[in-house]
Structure 1
Amino acid sequence: MRKRFFWIPAFALLMALSPAPQNRLTGIWELQMDGASTGLLKMYNADGSTTNIGLADEGFGISMEGTFVLQSDGSYLEKTVRSSFPEQVGAEKLVQFKLTGDSLLHLSYKVAGETFTEDYKKLKLIRGQ
């Protein structure tokens, strides 16, 4: 009995110290149109927040801020907290995603019954100039 008691706390400590699996969505992704860069960015942060950034007439700006929670290996629930489209504030949508390798992301979701798809390429660290 004494030997088993030792292994339970040891296992619990090991689990607590083990790093959590990394969310493969974490990072900055650029929207692609017909395989070309658009300059529109989507950021997924490790804390579960997400932000869309784009270039407007006044310079770069935030078009959406929200949260995302993974639901499965291929879906997450996104909630819009702030948006340049006021009717989307507070909206939740289930987003289906597919990752190809570590650098391509395909999203599919519905808004008001209409299906939308988006393709993104993950930004990489650039070399010094």
Structure 2
Amino acid sequence: MDGGNCTICVSGYFGRSCTQVCPSDCKNNVCTLHDGQCIEHLTDTASESDSEHIAIYAVLGTLLGISICCNIGLIVFHLRHSKKMKSSPETHRTNYESRNYQELDVTKVESVKSVYDTIQ
């Protein structure tokens, strides 16, 4: 005490003679010596945890959105691919058969005939 005035008060008190109680919303009952203003409010920590929750929700929401977009893309790809496979087996077969005939070497066929003729 300095001339009847406190220079340091016990935690939870303020004022000239440290007889006034700090407001109940002060974190750890700590307030300024002269006017009793909270140094930190209890609601400050709640807002910090709220902002942490918001950040977590933002990250999770982003990941969920990306996952949904990827799944939709895979479904669309699968549907388009399955439609092509359903509509084109005959086309593939026709192309395969015509390609086989085009690649057929006539000399090989003649040699087979001559072998056949020699067997008879």
Which TM-score band (shorter chain)? under 0.3
Q: Which of 1 and 2 has higher RCO (CA within 8 Å, sep 6+)?
A: 1
TM-score, normalising length: structure 2: 0.26
Structure number with greater Rg is 2
TM-score, normalising length: structure 1: 0.25
More strand by share: 1
More helix by share: 2
